[in-house]
A and B are shown apart, each in its own frame.
Chain A
Amino acid sequence: MDNANFLVVEDSPTMRQLISFSLKRFRNARILEAVDGVDALKKLSGPDRIDLILTDINMPVMDGLKLVSLVRQNAQLKNIPIIIITTEGAEEDRERGLALGANAYISKPIQSSHLIKTISELLAAV
């Protein structure tokens, strides 16, 4: 779990900073940020290895669900764990996100301890 590279995909700078703040609990964590799905795909095709993606759903240009779907279709990226972090708390939203290939679904407002636990479990399972 040390030296993990995270990609935080979120259009709100406040949320990006909040999530990044929580991720700093992981030793030597490297945090890359993207403002929407398209920006995230650019970062994913870059030279940096990404160990886990945390994405919002509602974003301009490309939403989080489309991003999850594209990542799962990509041979090089399909095994990266993805956590959806969103204000959409309905059960059908959760099911849709997980059906598209997300590994976990967390509703806002996020509890840092819950986020850390979920990430730890996903990284340990890889």
Chain B
Amino acid sequence: MGDRIPIAVTVNGVKKEAEVEPRLLLVHFIRDDLGLTGTHVGCDTSNCSACAVLMDGRVIKACTVLAVQADGREILTVEGLSKGGRLHPVQEAFLVKHGLQCGFCTPGMIMSAYALLRENRHPTEDEIRKGISGNICRCTGYAQIIESVQQAARSKQW
């Protein structure tokens, strides 16, 4: 298994230092070492993106990056979106538009939607569909997820 390697990762604005096995996946570091269980493991085969987080501002699959590769980088998880007890507009939109059923894909869906809207504040429906095309939802058929992203795009609360 090899020696543990020291890493320093800024997670939701807070610098976290740890010693990790080189084989540890970032998602397990986030969930098991940091206790941030909002980031989900949906598939374990890199297909579903329930584990989506932002690394240095770009949305990635936390299950397809090693924790040691995140050394020195900034991670944003779904827990880092709300400010002062107020939901982020993307979270609020998923609540208002009911963009979920079982909710398992929701953290990843929200992070992909957040990343999309940071790049493009007024996406077309087609751009939204492409933007979340890596995130699999097995309940909704996506219609209300699209509406949630559109609602978030209209929000003045960003």
Partners in one complex: no
Chain A contacts to B: CB under 8 angstroms: none
Chain B contacts to A: CB under 8 angstroms: none
